[in-house]
Amino acid sequence: MTAVESAPVRRYRIQHRTTYRYSDDVSVSFGRAFLTPRTLPHQRCLDHRVSVDPDPSDHSTGVDVHGNRATYFSVTSAYTRLEVTGTSTVEVSDPVRDPAVESAPWEAARPAGVDPLAVEYCLDSPLVEVDDAVRRYAGATFLPGRPLGEAVDELTHRIHSDFRYDPRASSVTSNVPDLLASRAGVCQDFAHLAVACLRSVGLAGRYVSGYLATTPPPGRERMVGVDASHAWAAVRGPDGSWLAFDPTNDHRAGDRYTTVAWGRDYGDVSPLRGVLFTHAEKSEMTVSVDVAPE
């Protein structure tokens, strides 16, 4: 009998801190955070906590329709500074890939209607609009009968090559037509385009939010707090499994990727959002993310 080797496991300590400052008192605020890493066959969340300063009057957790764990909180004492910090320890390995899934024609991966949520991932969403320009772009890759894995790899490479990474070229409200017009954007934009291309040919595509562990250049010390949240895409295979890929970096999502949440687009899984009551005319937000190997 031949022993089966287990996949190497990486462990990360992740801290995601968001700080808001206002020019006048905020009297009441309600927030929702997606900061808890998911539990997946290739990913284990060993511990996690979300802290809020000032102390919230109410704090709870729940699971949304996509299976993401959300933290809800309300702060009813006046403040001019709010800080929300998510801290996690996770273990991640490379996802197991099935050659039969990747070699199947991409047309075989179109959902048959038995999974309502998968069908929803085939439809347009607020930030992922499928139009003729998207269909033309996707059509160059999704040729009849092409293996799913081969098509996904080419789409990943094309987006990486055809669009320039430029944080000044987009915002959190940018959509796919904006990216196609400017030919520049960030990981959020490239993930949205990848998802739009999948949906344009009838495949289920979802937007994935999380973290990417980076390594410093040779000879440089690792800097703390300069990482960022990241976004990539995933396509549903004919067996119901999902293949995740990263157009920003031109490769599959592996053991350096920590998955926090997924949905139709960024609007479903933004790390932090809420409603507040204030007369403040100015506000400032700073974000610090640190993904440290352990």
- Mean pLDDT score across all residues of the chain: 93
Q: Which of 37, 66, 26, 32 is nearest to 52 (CA)?
A: 32
Kindly tell me the sign of the dihedral angle through the C-alpha atoms of 273, 259, 221, 47: positive
Q: What's the pLDDT score for residue 226?
A: 54
For the chain, give every domain's residue range.
9-93+271-293, 99-268
49, containing H or E segment: strand 43-53
Going by pLDDT thresholds of 50, 70 and 90, the confidence category of residue 115 is confident
* Dist CA 199 CA 233 (whole Å): 12
Closest CA to 141 of 125, 157, 117: 157
pTM for this structure? 0.93
**The CATH number, out of the four listed (2.60.40.10, 3.30.70.100, 3.10.620.30, 3.40.50.920), of the domain defined by the range 99-268:** 3.10.620.30
Nearest to 131 by CA among 191, 207, 192: 192
- How many residues are recorded in the chain? 294
Query: In Å, how far are 105, 142, 244, 247 from 234, measured between CA atoms?
Result: 17, 15, 4, 11
Lowest average pLDDT, out of 65-74, 105-114, 126-135, 221-230, goes to: 221-230
Q: What CATH number does domain 9-93+271-293 carry, 2.60.40.2380, 3.30.70.380, 2.60.40.2250, 3.40.720.10?
A: 2.60.40.2250
User: How far is the CA of 247 from the CAs of 9, 109, 161, in angstroms?
Assistant: 24, 20, 9
Distance of CA 18 to the CA centre of its chain: 17
Is the CB of residue 117 less than 8 Å from the CB of residue 65? yes
pLDDT digits (tens, 9 = 90+) for 152-178: 999 999 999 999 999 998 888 889 999
Confidence category of residue 136, pLDDT binned at 50, 70, 90: very high
Instruction: Tell whether the model's pLDDT for residue 1 goes beyond 50.
Output: no
Q: What is the pLDDT of residues 203-245, one digit of tens each?
A: 999 999 999 998 766 766 665 555 789 999 999 999 999 999 9
